[in-house]
Chain A
Amino acid sequence: MQTSTFIDQPIKKAENRTKYYFRKFFQRKTAVIAAVIILIFLFFAIFGPQIAPFDPSLPDYDNLYGAPDAVHWFGTDEFGRDVLSRLLVGTRNSLGVSLASVLIGAAIGTFLGVLAGYYGGIIDSVVMRGSDILFAMPDILLAIAIVAIIGPGIINVVIAVAVFTIPSFARIMRSATLSVKSSLYVEAARSIGCKNSRILWVHIFPSTIQSMIVNFTMRIGTAILAAASLSFLGYGAKVDEPDWGAMLSSGRNYLDIAPHLVYFPGLLIFIAVLAFNLLGDGLRDTLDPKLK
């Protein structure tokens, strides 16, 4: 009666797919650490003004260019303002700009890419030639040209960075759509008379979402760098606004007497970009095992 012991065994329930991804993700230590760092940054972005030890715009003319000490952990700037407080408050600006621009770029790029991949033909040609044109200019130049046309300022930086984010999403989502378009379940949906809009939204879009998440995370890193570069060149946030790139830009005038004005904002940008890139790497390994 050996078979009965086999039959008596409880049937193992298949692991929920979300649980599976979570389990796989948590095996990657660097990605988990990166996720924690990002959460901390998000916390700063939301509660920065509340947890800042000093008023970020309050000058203190008795303590100009103060080196880091027990009171001012990151020192003070050319107006005696507390650098740590300015960085904490500036997190919202710096992360907000990159998040907003990637969100806009991703939404437009995904929409265009999925349409191009699904319908093909003239829509495909137009979208792909359009992204060829955007790709034909180096990112930073495109952003500079756009800001030169629409003027400096934070909102315009968002627009500029969003524009150069569009083509990468359009291409990735197009190829992701193409790869599922001919699969059996899409064919089945079409044969039972589903409308195109339903097929696109219910069947195709969800299966392309993994590529989107990975690209989204990676592009945030790029966007933080681009926004900081634009601010550094003087096209982004105003110099007196608490913004990482703008602080770096004004700090560079005092490199010989107060290097901490350059060190800390840049270090924060570096850590934030690094965290998003590491998280993106981890997500790619988790969600898309085909890629290395």
Chain B
Amino acid sequence: MGRYFVKRVLGTIPLLLVISFLIFMFIHLIPGDPVRNMAGREATTEELENLRESMGFNKPLYQQYFSYLNDLFHGDLGISYKTKLPVSEMMIGRLKPTLKLTFFAMLWSTIVGIAIGVLSAINRGKLIDYLGMLIAISGISIPGFWLGLVMIQIFSVKLGWVPTGGLDTWKSYFLPSITLGCGIMAILARFSRSSMLDSLGEDYVRTARAKGQRERLVILRHAFRNSLVQVVTVIGLQIGGLLAGSVLIETVFTIPGLGRLLVDSLAFRDYKVVQALLLFFSFEYILINLIVDLLYGVLNPRIRLK
């Protein structure tokens, strides 16, 4: 067990290093002089030289990377050239809306997704199954940003039930979290259906039925509980992508979160912020995947013995 943990955690370090290097290179890969890109066209030569000096762009690339890593370890993500504020400060201010949005999206999509999956599995081949899977495949196929706009048109513009955007009241979270969670609800529904079908076909379910246990208990206590291990893994993997999914949804609903910050910073060519956000989203994704893997190892001993 301990060995599996150590191996998995150590295995992630090279990945984090490579990703951090690629994201560090991001500023250098954008065509043109990175300093000029950051300072804008109107900057004078003197300003450019000062900026180059202060940001360390005149040092060799590998030295720049090491000082970038060093700053990272100290929680320093640099200074935004546009707002002159520390990037980490800008991000902390934007973190809360994104996390809240992600939480609500995850909450409803997990409950509804698993419910649809389980209901479809126990009614396999019937109308409920058919409807459930239709909802699921639609949820995967629907463009989230479009669904968001359609809901704004219906529920905000026409009916006036919820605000069109922003985060002024708790009602503002309704539409964005529905939109953001749609895809995950669909994936969970499909996954929990197939995992439930697997466990319904197992011997222990037949045994439970044979000893005359009530069908509801057979389904809840035996089939459902055993199918959960895999479903939990899928939920974990989805959270990672969910934060990044907020990029589009926050743009549609004008929510001042991290995703919106990324889109705005790209538009303003505020590349220090873009770099920090890319790093944040990728690291968060990798670390959540790592945690899910470790949890899966705890829940399913067959994996860690491999």
Query: Using a CB–CB distance below 8 Å, which chain A residues touch chain B?
Result: 132-133, 136-141, 144-145, 148-149, 151, 221, 225, 228-229, 232-234, 248, 252, 255-256, 259, 262-263, 265-266, 269-270, 273-274, 277-278, 281, 292
Contacts and interface: CB of A to CB of B under 8 A. Distances in A.
Contacts of A262: 146, 149-150, 153
B150 A138 contact: no
A141 B146 contact: no
Interface in B205-232: none
Given A141-B281, A277-B140, A133 B19 contact: yes
B138 A269 contact: no
A269 B143 contact: yes
A90 to B, nearest CB: 15
B29 interface: yes
Given A255-B153, A266-B149, A140 B245 contact: yes
Given A140-B248, A266-B143, A149 B153 contact: no
Nearest to B11: A132
Contacts, number: 111
A138 to B, nearest CB: 4
A138 B285 contact: yes
Interface of B: 15, 18-19, 22, 26, 29-31, 137-138, 140-143, 145-147, 149-150, 152-153, 157, 194, 197-198, 240-241, 243-245, 247-248, 251-252, 262-263, 266-267, 274, 278, 281-282, 285-286
Nearest to B289: A136
B150 A266 contact: yes
B142 A270 contact: yes
Contacts of A259: 153, 157
Contact of B247 (A137, A141, A149): A141
Contacts of A138: 240-241, 243-245, 281-282, 285
Contacts of A140: 244-245, 247-248
Contacts of B281: 137-138, 141
B150 A144 contact: no
Contacts of B267: 234
B62 to A, nearest CB: 19
A255 B143 contact: no
A124 B53 CA distance: 43
Given A252-B149, A263-B150, A133 B18 contact: yes
B266 A141 contact: no
Contact of A273 (B143, B194, B248): B143
B126 to A, nearest CB: 16
A133 B22 contact: yes
A156 to B, nearest CB: 12
Contact of A137 (B31, B152, B197, B285): B285
Given A145-B26, A262-B153, A274 B138 contact: yes
A282 to B, nearest CB: 11
Contacts of A144: 247, 262, 266
B295 to A, nearest CB: 19
Contact of A255 (B152, B266, B274): B152
Nearest to A274: B141
A252 B150 CA distance: 10
Contacts of A229: 143, 145, 248
B15 A225 contact: no
B182 to A, nearest CB: 12
Given A136-B15, A140-B247, A262-B153, A277 B141 contact: yes
Given A136-B19, A149-B30, A266-B150, A141 B137 contact: no
Nearest to B146: A266
B197 A136 contact: no
B121 to A, nearest CB: 10
A265 B143 CA distance: 11
Contacts of B157: 255-256, 259
A37 to B, nearest CB: 12
Contacts of A148: 26, 30, 266, 274
17 contacts: A133-B18, A136-B285, A138-B244, A138-B245, A138-B281, A140-B245, A149-B30, A232-B145, A252-B252, A255-B149, A256-B153, A256-B157, A262-B149, A269-B143, A270-B142, A273-B141, A277-B137
B141 A133 contact: no
A255 B285 CA distance: 34
A273 B183 CA distance: 13
Nearest to B152: A255
A159 B247 CA distance: 20
A234 B247 CA distance: 13
A270 to B, nearest CB: 5
A39 B138 CA distance: 20
Contacts of B22: 133
Nearest to A276: B141
Nearest to B137: A277
